[in-house]
Amino acid sequence: MEYRIEHDSMGEVRVPVDALWGAQTQRSHENFVIGTERMPREIIRAFAVLKKAAALANADLGVLDQTTCKVVGQVADEILAGKLDDEFPLMVWQTGSGTQSNMNVNEVMANRANQILGQRRCHPNDTINRSQSSNDTFPTALHIAAVTAIERNLLPAIDLLVRTFRQLEQQNQGVVKCGRTHLQDAAPIGFWQEISGWRGLLEASRDQIRATLPFLSLLALGGTAVGTGLNAPKGFDEAAARHISELTGHEFQTDPNKFHALSGKDAITFSHGAIRTLAANLMKIANDVRWLASGPRCGLGEITIPANEPGSSIMPGKVNPTQCEAVTMVAVQVMGNDATIGFAASQGNFELNVFMPVIAYDFLQSVRLLSDVMRSFNEHCVSGIVANRGKMSQNLHESLMLVTCLNPYIGYEKAAKVAQKAYQDNTDLKHACVQLGFLTAEEFDKVFKPEEMV
């Protein structure tokens, strides 16, 4: 490989001749050979938006000329289009402020801008990073990426699954089945009602996640090194936030307290807490679905789900609830991410939190995985759920908890004796109730109507 010589404040560094990055990126590339997790592309694209907005704000305030502002915006657009993806090789496991990724973006944008201009006009620090610090750009990029991922991917995926459950509710109106609490038989429930519970879990999570967006919309940009705004012109923070809003189509504002914005990560922790709750709700839904589909002959077998793949390398004809398993694996990964984010957010020492790359990686992974798995679950499982009405009816009428409907007529204690006798004698509730002399057969038939108990 051929190299060129680049330099930074620490001296000269060999950089691959065709790379657009410079000395600081190369140092990080060599010093942090840790793992395989690269800085998320969502963060790089958020940085591109941020740098373009910063250039526009600097031009508005008269500290950057229009020609330079225009070419910075052009390079940012190339990054957003994915044309320069190979120029961002750095790992998550680097400096906790994300300084090297900020400089990676600065170096690539400066060198690409100079290519376009045909002259060395743009400097990574003095031009691309003007009025900024890594300490305010990385948290800003994190918030931009988080809001964008939630609004473009996560919320639409939730809505898709909600619509499918609503359709299933309509298809199963009037289908009554045995309810279950503590994994034991309980009073009857409409299958459409059970499905509405699943839908409600998703709708509640959606509303809770949306409620976190105003906190994520507050940006640290303008705080520079420690929150004081050193070397940023007056009004830069508000101008940059306005341009970021225009570029993304999402509403952002400058955080009125930059000291909080740089040192605290409560907004991202709060938001991920709601995302973790979505994961918990999806875990519950997926578990319900695979329990109800268990069998096909020796389980509950009350619903059928699509058979997508052979389920065993040794048992012919076996089919497993694989989409449910994918959902539950994603759920536990998100719960683990939440623990990491919470611990990382607690480590904001003095004026800066230095756990931001891992926070960014885990947050965006959670959003990406949940968005993908909900779409997969919807397409390959939920949309194909069919009620096994015969099995539901059989289980319903064999349930001893139907005795609950007798409470108003014979009282709780007598009804309990009916259920106990039916279980011990392996008979039905009617036979037990008549044998105990609590009701005649005709009286029992008059009040015992399971389908009306929902």
Q: What residues act catalytically?
A: 182, 312
In sequence order, the 6+-apart residues with CB closer than 8 A to the CB of 167 are none
66 has which bridge partners?
none
Amino acid at position 250, single letter: H
For β-strands 253-254 and 218-219, DSSP reports them as parallel
Give, as one character, the DSSP assignment of residue 6: E
369 DSSP assignment: H
Backbone angles phi, psi at 327, to 5 degrees: -60, -45
CB 146 within 8 Å of CB 367: yes
Measuring CA to CA, which residue among 113, 283, 95, 91 is closest to residue 202? Answer: 283
The residue written with tokens 């039916």 in the block is: 422
Q: Are 417 and 399 in contact (CB under 8 A)?
A: no
**Which of 156, 196, 199, 193 shows the shortest CA–CA distance to 176?**
193
- Going by C-alpha positions, the residue among 362, 148, 351 that lies closest to residue 276 is 362
State the maximum Cα–Cα separation within the chain, in Å, rounded to a whole number. 102
